[in-house]
């Protein structure tokens, strides 16, 4: 296996993973040229920001032959096709940053590639959505690619992710979803969040999944807003029973702006209680029911959760850590992590979601926020940390079996 993957390596790996039932890929040289332009464009910047965009490799005839709905993509064709090169891609990238938009590229019989138009839709096409009630477009059945940052490419066959590139490597690390295992029992105190309405009920996997999805949706929105703003962010989640010992004078967390508990109870917990109660009243406490529901009360509560996520992102913009309990009660922000004396020389990158395969990395490979998160998680194994860099990259940090492990996230 090569130490780093280059466009031809990626093209070969893509051919190996491509389903025989999917639309055919172009010859290797054309596929390599397509990927090379994407990769080079990912290293550029447009008006001071990294290039982020989406593209589809298919002709107009191929796309028009596929069954579509009025809610799916419509085609905007250029009067004159454009050259497929990194500068053209850079200039057009602002138009196709969202997952509802794609640049359309066609492989020609002459061996060239040409940029012939754009595809637009009101709905995202991939399997990771920011809004839990957002509709999803039927993705074009072709090769789709997302540039998610410098040197980071995500390859899809239709809506299904088949290969990722990050830091010169494919697969292995770089996830589009939160490590789900964190949500199963120790990421947050699931059943307490469900509130009195669910007390005494026989919990099912479906109901546990529902609470997990609500929390992940809220946190995904907060992190996405932080990434878009361009400022860094350090979020620390601590078990509720550990707050006093961690924030006591001389403890690991030194609050600068500590918040008093709300007199009416924690905001997020109250919202979750109300949503669960409403779902029970409507007859089904499940994530699927929530996604299908057009109930006005549920929609209003969802809007309040989104506003709560925005408050978190705003407070996280202040220098220092934002600390929450695992029930998502806000303890404070601008918090100093006092773990500079904790000896740590090595941390581990998770190469899979469960962190079964680990890659050792020097502890000083990241910035100040990363080092603070690593040392905190070593000193307090029951803490979880999420670090957003100024360049938009995101890491999850946790201690497992005595090792400080981090997960690189590709997108939200």
The CATH number of whichever domain residue 297 belongs to comes to 3.40.1700.10
Same domain, 82 and 63: yes
- Answer yes or no: is 148 within a domain: yes
Q: Is the pLDDT of residue 127 over 70?
A: no
Same domain, 298 and 381: yes
d(CA 164, CA 292): 31
pLDDT value of residue 182: 52
- Answer yes or no: is 363 within a domain: yes
| Whether 298 contacts 328, CB under 8 Å | no
Last residue of a domain, one of 146, 170, 194: 170
- Answer yes or no: is 230 within a domain: yes
What is the average pLDDT across 310-335?
A: 86
Same domain, 218 and 336: yes
- Answer yes or no: is 175 within a domain: no
What is the average pLDDT across 272-290?
A: 84
pLDDT value of residue 66: 78
- Answer yes or no: is 339 within a domain: yes
Q: pLDDT higher for 315 or 227?
A: 315
Indicate the range of 128-137, 209-218, 345-354, 389-398 predicted with least confidence. Answer: 128-137
Residue range of the domain that includes 113: 7-170
Q: What is the pLDDT of residues 11-61, one digit of tens each?
A: 888 898 898 888 889 999 999 999 999 999 999 987 777 888 899 999 988
Last residue of a domain, one of 143, 170, 197: 170
pTM over 0.75: no
Q: Is the pLDDT of residue 332 over 80?
A: yes
- Answer yes or no: is 1 within a domain: no
Same domain, 214 and 143: no
Q: Is the pLDDT of residue 69 over 60?
A: no
pLDDT value of residue 412: 46
Indicate the range of 73-87, 88-102, 126-140, 370-384 predicted with least confidence. Answer: 126-140
Same domain, 144 and 194: no
What is the average pLDDT across 323-340?
A: 85
User: How many structural domains compose the chain?
Assistant: 2
Same domain, 151 and 226: no
Q: Is the pLDDT of residue 240 over 70?
A: yes
Same domain, 79 and 102: yes
pLDDT value of residue 199: 47
- Answer yes or no: is 2 within a domain: no
Same domain, 205 and 327: yes
pLDDT value of residue 186: 46
What is the average pLDDT across 287-308?
A: 87
Same domain, 92 and 145: yes
Same domain, 248 and 162: no
Give percent above pLDDT 70 in the chain: 80
Last residue of a domain, one of 170, 202, 237: 170
d(CA 37, CA 93): 13
**From the centroid of its chain, how far is CA 284?**
28
Same domain, 159 and 281: no
Same domain, 109 and 150: yes
């Amino acid at each position: 296996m090569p130490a780093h993957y280059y466009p031809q390596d990626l093209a070969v790996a893509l051919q190996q993973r491509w389903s025989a039932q999917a639309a055919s890929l172009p010859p290797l040289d054309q596929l390599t040229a397509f990927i090379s332009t994407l990769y080079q464009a990912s290293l550029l910047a447009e008006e001071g920001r990294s290039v982020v965009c989406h593209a589809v490799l298919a002709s107009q005839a191929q796309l028009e032959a596929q069954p579509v709905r009025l809610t799916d993509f419509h085609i905007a064709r250029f009067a004159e096709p454009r050259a497929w090169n990194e500068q053209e891609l850079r200039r057009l990238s602002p138009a196709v940053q969202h997952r509802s938009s794609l640049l359309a590229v066609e492989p020609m019989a002459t061996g060239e590639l040409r940029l012939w138009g754009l595809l637009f839709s009101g709905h995202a096409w991939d399997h990771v959505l920011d809004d839990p009630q957002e509709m999803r477009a039927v993705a074009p059945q072709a090769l789709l690619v997302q540039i998610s940052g410098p040197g980071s490419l995500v390859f899809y066959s239709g809506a299904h992710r088949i290969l990722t590139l990050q830091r010169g490597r494919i697969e292995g690390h770089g996830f589009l979803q939160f490590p789900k295992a964190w949500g199963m029992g120790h990421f947050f105190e699931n059943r307490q969040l469900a509130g009195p309405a669910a007390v005494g009920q026989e919990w099912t996997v479906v109901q546990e999944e529902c609470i997990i999805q609500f929390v992940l949706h809220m946190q995904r929105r907060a992190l996405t807003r932080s990434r878009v703003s361009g400022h860094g962010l350090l979020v620390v989640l601590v078990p509720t029973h550990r707050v006093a010992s961690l924030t006591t004078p001389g403890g690991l967390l030194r609050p600068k702006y500590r918040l008093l508990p709300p007199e009416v109870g924690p905001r997020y917990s109250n919202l979750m209680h109300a949503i669960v109660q409403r779902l029970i009243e409507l007859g089904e406490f499940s994530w699927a029911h929530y996604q299908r529901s057009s109930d006005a009360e549920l929609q209003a509560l969802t809007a309040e959760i989104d506003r709560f996520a925005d408050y978190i992102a705003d407070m996280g913009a202040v220098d220092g850590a934002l600390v929450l309990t695992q029930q998502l009660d806000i303890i404070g922000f601008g918090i100093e992590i006092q773990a500079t004396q904790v000896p740590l020389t090595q941390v581990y990158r998770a190469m899979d979601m469960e962190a079964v395969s680990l890659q050792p990395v020097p502890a000083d490979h990241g910035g100040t926020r990363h080092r603070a998160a690593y040392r905190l998680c070593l000193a307090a194994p029951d803490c979880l940390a999420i670090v957003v860099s100024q360049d938009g990259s995101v890491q999850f940090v946790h201690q497992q079996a005595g090792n400080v492990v981090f997960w690189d996230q590709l997108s939200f």
